[in-house]
Chains A and B, each alone.
Chain A
Amino acid sequence: EVQLVQSGAEVKKPGESLKISCKGSGYSFTSYWIGWVRQMPGKGLEWMGIIYPGDSDTRYSPSFQGQVTISADKSISTAYLQWSSLKASDTAMYYCARHRLTGLIDYWGQGTLVTVSS
Chain B
Amino acid sequence: DIQMTQSPSSLSASVGDRVTITCQASQDISNYLNWYQQKPGKAPKLLIYDASNLETGVPSRFSGSGSGTDFTFTISSLQPEDIATYYCQQYDNLPPAPLFTFGPGTKVDIK
Q: Which residues does A use to contact B, with CB under 8 Å?
A: 33, 35, 37, 44-47, 50, 59, 61-62, 95, 97, 99, 101-106, 108-111
Contact = CB atoms under 8 A, between A and B. Distances in A.
B91 A103 contact: yes
A59 B43 contact: no
Contacts of B97: 59
The 4 A-B residue pairs with the shortest CB-CB distance in the complex, in nearest-first order: A103-B91, A108-B43, A45-B102, A44-B105
Chain B interface size, as a band, is 20 to 34
**A-side binding surface: helix, strand, loop or mixed?**
strand
Given A59-B96, A95-B44, A103-B91, A46 B102 contact: yes
Given A44-B104, A44-B105, A95-B43, A61 B91 contact: no
A103 B94 CA distance: 12
Nearest to A99: B100
13 contacts: A33-B98, A44-B85, A45-B38, A45-B102, A45-B105, A59-B97, A97-B43, A99-B100, A102-B49, A103-B32, A103-B91, A105-B34, A108-B45
